[in-house]
Structure 1
């Protein structure tokens, strides 16, 4: 193929995020979303990966910003990459999801764009935003 015959592909803009399944005993840490979509609904702490940042570091940073919980990025274990095209109503968003276990006395408080932070039962976290229920289920299976 010559340069004259190369077709230009149309690339879709994709957002890259990182989410954390933070487990304390038999509970998992959730935020109450403060913004649309899914405003007021439970979701995993997480958010965008910044330029020059790797997803593991972004996951630890987002966990801290949204819940006040500090973890070492090296302690995060990859659950999987979630890239279903319709997983976020705002557009194409691919997330790297991690799991981490924290001490039983770990406290959480809402920060950043989280309206609240709360510990909920890991085995029954409720109706979660996006595909976060699937992510929690996968994290439980590898834990």
Structure 2
């Protein structure tokens, strides 16, 4: 098996919250480099050796946004070939929510910006969302119903 065929593990977080006006929002980060440099993505990244996927999701969320999630629930595992131009990536996607007012994120690690977007805003430009993250967001919303 070549290194291009080896699967790499990642963990992403769909963190949801509500603005004061009741609009549902999702936390996204702007990618600082390729692939999809400049596009918006879910906070997340590689699972370190010996690390649990949920622990990786929490770590990546904190590194890229400065925020913590009280609880995270598994949305699904995404493993379709071709979902990442770098090779075969298997993503464990988690969802969580923040109570009360939206905390202010601080971009860090490989994120050049972090901010809350209303779902209605994101729905108007799905082509600016990296990878298959729009599908992951939609799936996370389905798990909330």
Q: TM-score, normalised by structure 2?
A: 0.87
Question: RMSD over aligned Cα, in angstroms?
Answer: 1.2
What corresponds to 2:66 in structure 1?
Answer: 68
What corresponds to 2:11 in structure 1?
Answer: 18
Distance in 2, Cα, partners of 1:123 & 1:133: 12
What corresponds to 1:112 in structure 2?
Answer: 109
Aligned length: 132
What do residues 68-125 of structure 1 show as CA deviations (whole Å, max 9, x unaligned)? 00124xx100000000110000000000000000122322110000010011112442
- Which consecutive residues of structure 2, in runs of 5 or more, have no partner in the other structure? 19-23
Q: TM-score, normalised by structure 1?
A: 0.88
Which of 78, 92, 95 lines up with 1:96 in the alignment? 92
What corresponds to 2:30 in structure 1?
Answer: 32
